[in-house]
Structure 1
Amino acid sequence: MQEKEQTIISYFPSSTKAQTAVDMLAANGLTDSHIKRTSRYGVTFDTERNNATANLAETQTGLTVFSMNTPNEENAAERVLMAADPSVSGLSSRGNGMAGGHAFSVVVFVPQSRVEEAIKIIKQNDGEV
């Protein structure tokens, strides 16, 4: 009989910490995990258009709140309001109306006997369960 699985939902302050946790979980045989971006806005993160290090940032909000790319001619008021969001300035790095208070979540499915092991790995990478 197959052991029952449990779902663990955790939240991370950055995508790199979330990815490190997922990689560590996988290295320990817990491969059924998924990283999700959480935003109050449409979530489409296009690395070609929203890459600050390659000087390809289309919008400030694309880099900070993972907003959808919106044409300059359309939704001008919406773009201004998103840019005014406290998280864009960095003044609100936590909370700000998002589930879990962070922009990244990891959902992992683990056998019940390995729940504590998975939680330990998540917490080692600054994740909150």
Structure 2
Amino acid sequence: MPEERTIIASFPSSSKARTTADALAAAGLADVHIRRNSRYGVSQDPYINDPISHQAESLASLVLFSTNSPNDENQATKVLMDADPSVSGMSARGYGMAGGAAFTLVAFVPEPRVDEAVGIIKANGGDV
């Protein structure tokens, strides 16, 4: 079994991260995971975080994926989270999060294909 390397890249949007994951999969590198970075905890509940279901607890729950976090008990906290610059997208890069971006892509790649994978990631706007 060939040795693998872990590649960690950051992206300002989920669509760029998803496009990159799809490009890596098309190249035969399918062990790729995308995670949302948040300063407030993350809850990936597709029912609550769906604006069409009318179940969103706040604007922050839709944008920051922050539903069911412990601070959601406090209405004032919800208002402050809604006013956070990351909700408007004005903080897509460099706003106090790991990697400085809202989304992290982690790929596990065989050693001989690391340069190829890094090239795909950078071509799609990722920072490695």
**Normalising by structure 1, what TM-score?**
0.85
CA-based RMSD of the aligned residues comes to 2.1
| Residue 56 (structure 1) aligned with residue 54 (structure 2) | yes
Checking the alignment, whether the CA contact within 8 Å between 1:62 and 1:68 is kept in structure 2 is yes
Identity %: 56
What runs of 5+ residues in structure 2 fail to find an aligned partner? none
User: 1 CA distance for matches of 2:53 and 2:47?
Assistant: 10
Counterpart CA distance in 2 for 1:31 and 1:81 is 38
> Judging changes above 3 Å, is the alpha-carbon distance between structure 1 residues 125 and 92 closer, same or farther for their aligned structure 2 residues?
same
Give the superposition deviation at 1:70: 6.1
Where in structure 2 are the equivalents of 1:9-20 lying within 5 Å? Answer: 9-20=8-19
Alpha-carbon distance in 2 for matches of 1:48, 1:104: 21
Per-residue deviation, residues 51-99 of structure 1 (Å, max 9, x unmatched): 34x363612101222212469x931122122112111233322221111
How many aligned residue pairs are there?
A: 126
User: 2: CA distance between counterparts of 1:91 and 1:24?
Assistant: 27
Aligned twin of 1:31: 30
Within 2, Cα distance between the matches of 1:24 and 1:14?
A: 16
The 1:32–1:45 alpha-carbon spacing in structure 2 relative to 1, beyond 3 Å, is same
SS, match of residue 65 in structure 2: coil
Deviations 1:2-47 (A, max 9, x none): 3211100001111121111111111111111111111111201323
Structure 1: gaps (5+ residues): none
> TM-score normalised to the size of structure 2?
0.85
Distance 2:77 2:49 in 1: 18
